[in-house]
Chain A
Amino acid sequence: MDFTRRDALILGAGAATVALLPVQAFASVSDDAIAAFTGGAATSEGGIELTAPEIAENGNTVPVAVSAPGAVSIMLLAAGNPNPDVCTFNFGPLSGSQSASTRIRLAGTQDVVAVAKMADGSFVQTSSVVKVTIGGCGG
């Protein structure tokens, strides 16, 4: 079978699509998780603070802190993890402030996303890029 220029182009385009697919899959999974949390409502910026290191040497334990005054619950997502769910904080009537910190696993360099549900039913979102030197998913 001879390879025409057209065949080569089609093959190349197909390979490029396959190479891009995983990235899109991750993005859509985390978008789905956000949509499930917000019920499809739009999120706005501001009113939420996410503190994460710029560079994490060990992806197995990355300290992160979130704070969103007036929030009912805050969801943390790691957009580049095989499973983007990290945790959800639900604040009760006796919580002193709508903030919490924990340690999370990150598979590689990626965006960490925090979405907060406010008392009035609106949603705010923020994200922070964390560079990971050694991934934390154990291959």
Chain B
Amino acid sequence: MASGVKPRVKVPKTASAGDVITIKTLISHKMESGQRKDSDGNRIPQSIINTFTCDFNGQNVINVELHGAISTNPYFQFEATVPESGDFTFTWNDDDGSVYTETKTITVG
């Protein structure tokens, strides 16, 4: 597991039913592209986050397939519709098999 991986997500705490909200996500990760070489000229193997998923109460909002050309500390901004109160679940899948998750609750009032 890559060290120091920390997901950060920004979701509004409240919304009206049916509102479209903007979500920003960032996860600290080296995203080793597989193109770089170490000081001895050996290629450093690729080690990236390969998929990112955002779900709301079990329904999919967005699913992203990542490749080596995504920057260090992958950042995503997108919009979601909020039909009711519930939880956003964010999932990042690492090449090495680790899964990082984060949950945010939103209240419709």
Interface residues of A (CB under 8 A from B): 60-62, 65, 78, 81-97, 99-106, 136-139
Q: What residues of chain B lie closer than 8 Å to A96, measured between beta carbons?
A: 20-22, 78-81
B63/A90 in contact, CB under 8 A:
yes
How many angstroms between the C-alpha atoms of A81 and B70 in the bound complex?
12
Q: List 10 A-B contacts (CB under 8 A).
A: A60-B71, A60-B72, A61-B71, A65-B77, A93-B59, A97-B79, A102-B75, A102-B76, A104-B69, A136-B71
The reply on B9 being an interface residue by CB < 8 A is: no
B35/A138 in contact, CB under 8 A:
yes
How many angstroms between the C-alpha atoms of A132 and B55 in the bound complex?
35
The reply on B66 being an interface residue by CB < 8 A is: yes
Question: Do A93 and B60 form a contact, CB below 8 Å, given A87-B65, A100-B77, A105-B33?
Answer: yes
Other A-B contacts than A89-B63, A89-B64, 17 sampled, CB-CB below 8 A, are A60-B71, A65-B77, A81-B69, A83-B34, A83-B69, A85-B68, A87-B64, A88-B65, A92-B59, A92-B60, A92-B61, A95-B62, A95-B81, A97-B20, A101-B78, A104-B70, A105-B33
Q: How many A-B residue pairs have CB under 8 A?
A: 109
Give A110 Cβ to nearest chain B Cβ, in Å: 11
B72/A95 in contact, CB under 8 A:
no
A90/B33 in contact, CB under 8 A:
no
The reply on B10 being an interface residue by CB < 8 A is: no
The reply on B7 being an interface residue by CB < 8 A is: no
B79/A95 in contact, CB under 8 A:
yes
Interface residues of B (CB under 8 A from A): 20-22, 33-37, 55-56, 59-72, 74-81, 83
B78/A99 in contact, CB under 8 A:
yes
Q: What residues of chain A lie closer than 8 Å to B37, measured between beta carbons?
A: 138-139
From A60, A93, A102, A139, give the contact of B74 (CB < 8 A).
A102
Give B78 Cβ to nearest chain A Cβ, in Å: 4
Question: Do A95 and B71 form a contact, CB below 8 Å, given A87-B64, A89-B62, A105-B33?
Answer: no
Q: What residues of chain B lie closer than 8 Å to A137, measured between beta carbons?
A: 33, 35-36
A101/B70 in contact, CB under 8 A:
no
Q: What residues of chain A lie closer than 8 Å to B67, measured between beta carbons?
A: 83, 85-87
A86/B61 in contact, CB under 8 A:
no
Question: Do A90 and B69 form a contact, CB below 8 Å, given A96-B20, A96-B21, A102-B74?
Answer: no
